[in-house]
Amino acid sequence: MASERKRSSSRSLREREEKYERGTRSYTMSHIRGKDTSIEVLVRSYLFRHGLRFRKNDKRYPGHPDVVLPKYRTIVFVNGCFWHAHEHCPKYSMPKSNIEFWTAKLLRNKTRDAAQHAELEAAGWRVIVVWECELVKANREARLEQLVQQITGTCDK
Ligand SMILES: [Zn+2]
CA–CA dist 84, 80 (Å, integer): 6
DSSP annotation of 136 reads: S
Query: Residues 101, 16: contact at Cβ < 8 Å?
Result: yes
Cα-to-centroid distance, 83 and ligand 1 (Å)? 10
pLDDT in tens, 65-117: 999 999 999 999 999 999 999 988 987 778 888 999 999 999 999 999 999 99
| Mean of pLDDT over the chain | 81
Q: Which residues contact 143 (CB under 8 A, 6 or more apart)?
A: 130, 134, 135
Q: H-helix or E-strand containing 79?
A: strand 74-79
Domains of the chain: 36-152 (3.40.960.10)
Q: Collect residues with CB below 5 Å from ion ligand 1.
A: 81, 86, 89, 91, 131, 133
What is the model's pTM?
Answer: 0.75
- The residues pairing with 131 across neighbouring beta strands, listed in sequence order, are 79
Cα-to-centroid distance, 132 and ligand 1 (Å)? 6
Query: Residues 43, 132: contact at Cβ < 8 Å?
Result: no
Quick check: helix, strand or coil at residue 124?
A: coil
Cα-to-centroid distance, 9 and ligand 1 (Å)? 30
pLDDT over 60 at 30, yes or no = no
Angstrom CA distances, 17 to 8, 66, 145, 146, stand at 10, 23, 37, 36
